[in-house]
Every structure is written in structure tokens, then in C-alpha cells.
Structure 1
């Protein structure tokens, strides 16, 4: 059988990258020195002052738009641009993204999917669009996005639980608790996940792995769970032994194996094959000893 190489919490993302070229601020014309008093072009301005100034911008934008026609879309763009610009000058620009509920491996992909950048106007962020983009990431089951003024975006996610590593047709990938692949997950970084092999193994694994997990003696000896003809399972153990399970009644068959192990410690003694496909008969094929005088290679 081909071998596979296989190997939340609140996480703060790395500093945001620079804004794309088209998002850079246009150089503003020089203005004469203003009289002493509150300034609107610095991060130290209070939200009340910034809001009052922005209200004035909105009024001017509305008047200008109504005077030039195109009252619908133009009005919306003028209002949005005015709010973003003035609040951006007042310090309401994106400085940090916090991701909650995701592992360190998932966080980088989540932040990349948002499409946000450093110094982007916070009030102009499309929170629903960001949420939809985040939920397209394979790691993410669901997400919630919150704008935390003046300069932070908080993304709370429910991460999909990694169930097993699936191997088929020369490809290996991590699957979740529903048997769906997680494309961004590197199988090599999940060495403790069980290995399931074959056509249909991913879809059927959620049905049997919880049952196997209740039998730690068997799980610690299992190398892979192999789907046979997409209708039943073979358990391949690390010592080369095979346990053949039936197409139906898998849990009952595993209980038979458990009872057999309690009586004879067969999992420790070793065997070539145990056939549990017939519920009325348990067939055990002992491991054949090497003929007298024949050397056995180390590790065989």
C-alpha cells in the first residue's frame, strides 16, 4: 500500500501589507496655516469632532450631486467617498486584523482572503463581503466580522475540525468531520490524524472513525483504514496484519474483535488476517512462521 508522508484560540495576524498602488492617497494641495484649535487631519482628533466635520462634508456632497444630476448612484458614491476621506484623515484607518477561533495554520489564509490592507479607511470596509470571502477558505466553517473603531478589524471564526488524512489516486489531503477536503491544509503537518485510503473513504470515514476512537488499543496499532470496493473496510495494522470488516454491522464486528483480544490478547500476539465479515464465524489466520533454517530479514 502506498505510504503517505504525514507529519482555537485568539491569534493576531502579522502586520498588514501596504495598500495597493491604486489605493494610495493623492497628495493634497498646500493649505495656509490654520488657527489654533482641534485638527481634523490627525489621529488625535476625537470622534465627535470628526463626525461633525464629516457631516459638513456630506452636506456639500449632497448639494453638489443634486446640482449636477445623476442623483442615485452619484449621491451614494459622493457620500461614501466623503465619509471615508474625512474619517481616514481623522485616524480611522486600518492598522490591525485580529482572528479569533482559528489555529495558527489557518490564520494566514484567513487574513489573505479578506483582501484588506494597511491604512485602508475602516468605515469603507464591506463587512459582509469580507465575511463571505473568509467563509470560502477551506479551514472555515462560519465567520463573523466586526469593525472595532478606530483602526481594528476582528474576525471570529469556527474552524472546521480535521478528522483524517485521505489518500486516493496518488493524492493526499486532510478531510473534515463531514468528509470534505480542506484544500489549504498540508497533510504532512497532521501526523497524528488517522489515514483513510481508497475511493469513497473520505465520505464514509465520519461514520466509522468515532467508533474506532472508542477502542484506543486498536487505534494505536492501526496504520490505515482501507475502503474496499467502496462498500466495506479493511483495517491495516502497523505489524502488517489485516482485519476484514463486514459491509454492515461494523460496530458489532469490532465488539467481537474486542472480546477476542480480551480472551487471547491477539492484538499483541499478531496474526496475518482476521475475517469478521460473517457475524456467525470469526476466522483467524495465524502468521506463518519462517521455515526451519531460513533467515528472516530484520524488521520482517
Structure 2
């Protein structure tokens, strides 16, 4: 119901609206709220930092798609800011673990990776880093893994060192595919078989496994010599020579094994064994020096 205003002396006066009660202040008051805010940490936790990163990166991608090259520059600037923000939150490179590499290969892999202490961890381009590591001659393939908050794992599959190849007065270490490993110092691989001659590196992976199946022969061999880039000669430690055919090396070596079982030729010694003809095995005995006649009494 609407109430009429009171009339006094012919003028109309409106009634005053009821006065509202003041709102209650929150418990604790301003002083308590300020103290609580002072106790709260100012930095982002790692979890919140990652959540924020996902949102900002999504925004950067949207801007890139919408604005082209300007968006790329903006996204790059945002990425740099994120790197610094994450680094401040503790996401820095503090530890690098190289797995699967020999001690001689580790230094070259670390040099190719180009990592440094306290580098922002989340800003690393893992694909580019993997490509750099795989350019190292020791490395067959590589895999890079981030372990938050501060560790980077470089896991590699190292090339198998097959032999030392000597050609044109120089020596190189080759892998199981006949490829040269540039970083490997041949002087440190004296236990590897020695392959000599043009074409030796390319064809060594074909012949060395065949010889390795015969440990007695392998142990007496000094070098594997490529002849006219067609066939092989086995130079033995005692100076003797075994001539293999251009094809069918395995069959020829089986003939040699049968000959050795009958006559122990590898132990007794020889000057040359010619296995180039599959129908005939030609053996040249080692030349014996003539014995000097006994001295004549009273001479």
C-alpha cells in the first residue's frame, strides 16, 4: 500500500526512507587479511608454471596462425619470456646423463650437444639437439629426454668398431658398415683387425665375419689385404700368405680347414697357400735354410 505524504502548511513532504543497517565486516579485519597475504608465497609452483605455460603457448599458436610472420615473432618473444620464467622456477639444466656411449665418445657427444650449466631446460629444441648428436661419427642414433626439473638424458646407440683401415699412408677406424668414424684415433684400437688397400673399408664387413667364425685362423692373421679391389689376401703374423678367390671365400676357407685338420699346416708353417682355384689347393712350403757344415777339426 502506498502511503500519502503528510501535508503541513499546504506543502507536501515525502517520508524519509528507512535507514539500512551497515554491512558486517569480514572476520579478522583488514589487518588480519594483510598478514595472511604477506605469508603467501609470491612465486609460481612448478605445477602452476606448467599449467600457465600450456595456456600461453596455446595463445601464441593462435596468434601465429592469425597474424603470420608478426605472430611468429610474437610467439618467439613469448617463448623467451617463458624460458626465463621457468628457469626462475627451477627448470634449469643442472645434470646431463649420456647413456650408451663409450668413454672415448662421451667428450665428442657433449661437445656436439653444446649444453651449459643452468641453461633453461624447457626451451631446448630436442629434435635439433638430437640431430646435432647424431652428426657425431661415434653415434648411430640418439634419443633426448627431459627429466624435470633439472636433468637432460642423452641416450645413444654407438657404432660398432669393426676394423682399422689403412690406405694411402693413413689409418682410420671403420664401423660395421665400412663407414669411417672420424673422431676415433686408430692408434687406440690396436686390438681391431687391420684392413689394407683401396676398397678395403667398403668390403671388410663382408669378409671379416666369415674369418671371425674361425678363431684359430683369426688369431694368426696379421692383416687382411685387398688386392686390385677384387679379392683378399690374408697376411699371417709369421709372414706367410693365404690367397683367397674373388668369390666363394667361405668355401675356400673350408678347404683350408680340411687341409689343416689333415696336416696341421697352420702350426707347421708355410710360405703361401693359393686357394684361388676351387679345384686345386696349391701350397708352397716355407724355404728351409741349408744347415752349415760342421767345422773341420783343427781348421
**TM-score bracket for this pair, using the shorter chain length:** 0.7 to 0.9
What is the aligned partner in structure 1 of residue 130 from structure 2? 131
Q: For the structure 1 residues 100 and 290, does the alpha-carbon distance in structure 2 shift closer, same or farther, using more than 3 Å as the test?
A: same
Instruction: Name the structure 1 match of 2:234.
Output: 235
Residue 193 to residue 61, structure 1, CA distance change in 2 (3 Å) = closer
Aligned counterpart, 1:165: 164
1:188 and 2:191 are equivalent in the alignment: no
Asked if 1 retains the 8 angstrom alpha-carbon contact of 2:137 and 2:181, the reply is: yes
Which residue pairs with 1:206 in the alignment? Answer: 205
CA contact (8 A) 2:60 2:75 kept: no
Q: Deviations over 1:198-228 (max 9, x none)?
A: 0000000000100000000000000000001
SS across alignment from 1:123 = coil
> How far apart are residue 60 of structure 1 and its match?
11
Alignment deviations for residues 77-110 of structure 1 (CA, whole Å, 9 cap, x no partner): 2210121011100111101111111111111111
**Other-structure match for 2:251:** 252
Q: Determine the C-alpha separation between the residues in 1 that align with 2:131 and 2:69.
A: 31
Matched, 1:38 2:5: no
Query: What residue is the counterpart of 2:147 in the other structure?
Result: 148
Structure 1, 74-83 or 135-144: larger mean CA deviation: 74-83
Alpha-carbon contact 1:94-1:151 (below 8 Å) kept: yes
Structure 1's unaligned 5+ residue stretches are: 1-33, 295-300
Report if the CA contact (8 A) 1:53-1:86 is conserved: no
What SS class does the counterpart of residue 137 from structure 1 fall into?
Answer: coil
Unpaired runs of 5+ in structure 2?
Answer: 1-36, 294-299
Q: Give yes or no for contact 1:241–1:273 (8 Å, CA) kept in 2.
A: yes
Partner of 2:74: 75
Which one has more relative contact order, counting CA pairs under 8 Å at least 6 apart?
A: 1
Question: How far apart in 2 are the matches of 1:39 and 1:257?
Answer: 82
Structure 1: 4+ residue segments shifted above 6 A: 55-62
**TM-score, normalisation: structure 2:** 0.79
Deviation at 1:74, TM superposition (A): 2.4
| Contact residue 234 and residue 243 of structure 1 kept, 8 A | yes
Cα separation, partners in 2 of 1:59 and 1:171, compared to 1, 3 Å: closer
Larger Rg, first or second structure (1 or 2):
2
Cα distance in 1 for residues equivalent to 2:195 and 2:253: 17
Q: Distance in 1 between matches of 2:134 and 2:141?
A: 6
CA distance in 2 between counterparts of 1:246 and 1:60 reads 69
Q: CA RMSD in A?
A: 2.5
How far residue 53 of structure 1 moved from its aligned partner, in angstroms, is: 6.4
Contact 2:225-2:233 within 8 A present in 1 as well = yes
The superposition leaves residues 163-207 of structure 1 with CA deviations (integer Å, 9 ceiling, x where unpaired) of 111000111011011100011111122222111000000000000
Q: For residue 14 of structure 2, what is the aligned residue in structure 1?
A: none
Moved more, 130-139 or 52-61: 52-61
What TM-score, normalized to structure 1? Answer: 0.78
Going from structure 1 to structure 2, the CA distance change for 1:55 and 1:239 (only over 3 Å counts) comes to closer
Distance 2:212 2:41 in 1: 65
- Number of aligned residue pairs: give it: 253
